[in-house]
Amino acid sequence: MGRKAQVHAITSVGRPLSEDVHGRMVRYLISMAIRTACVAGLFFTDGWLQWVMAAGAVLLPYVAVLAANAGAKRPEPADTLIGAPELEAPPDAQRPTYPPIDLRGGYLR
C-alpha cells in the first residue's frame, strides 16, 4: 500500500522571532519620537495646530502600544508544493525489514 509522505513547504515558514521583535521595536520608537515632537510642539504652536499636537501626544502612546504588541501574522501552512507532484511510495515498495532485537542486549537468531 502506498503512503503519502508529508511535504513541508519553505514558503509556510514565518519570519524569525528576532526580526519580528526588531520590527515592532522600530515601529514603537518611531511612534514615541513623533509623540515627543507633539509634546514639544505644544509649547511652540497655537490655535488648531496646538489641539492637533495635544491629540497626538495623548493618542499616540495607545496606538504605539497596539502596533508594538500586534505580532506578525502567522502564515497558513501549505498543503503541498505548488506544481510539485504528491510524493507517494511506489506501489511495489516494501518497508525494510530488520532482524528482531532482544531487549536483553542482542539480536535474536
For 25-83, how does the pLDDT look when each residue is reduced to its tens digit (9 = 90+)? 888 889 889 999 999 999 999 999 999 999 999 998 898 888 777 766 665 655 555 55
Amino acid identity of residue 53, one-letter, is: M
Cα separation values, 82 from 5, 6, 90, 105, Å: 16, 14, 21, 47
**This prediction's pTM:** 0.52
